[in-house]
Amino acid sequence: MAESFFWTLQLELLDEHRWEPRRKHEWIEAWYNPRRRHSYCDMLSPANFEDAYSARIIGSAA
């Protein structure tokens, strides 16, 4: 069911919209990738994972 939803989303939104190459790249790098949760990061976004990691390192050094 989820695959069907995302296929429809891609078909109706992403494939029908004419993206300028730079805008699409900026959207992926500036919005999607930093906020998307990853299973290898304990389901945190990369930005949140780095913040949590930094807090652990700094907290353990103090």
pLDDT above 70 (res 62): no
Task: Give the number of domains in the chain.
Answer: 1
Report the C-alpha gap between 15 and 25 in whole angstroms.
Answer: 15
CB 34 within 8 A of CB 46: yes
Q: What is the domain extent for residue 38?
A: 21-62
The verdict on residue 4 lying in a domain is no
pLDDT above 70 (res 57): yes
Q: Residue 10's Cα: distance from chain center in Å? A: 16
The verdict on residue 1 lying in a domain is no
The verdict on residue 58 lying in a domain is yes
CB 20 within 8 A of CB 8: no
Q: What residues does 38 pair with on adjacent strands?
A: 44
The verdict on residue 35 lying in a domain is yes
Rounded mean pLDDT, 5-27? 73
The verdict on residue 14 lying in a domain is no
pLDDT above 70 (res 32): yes
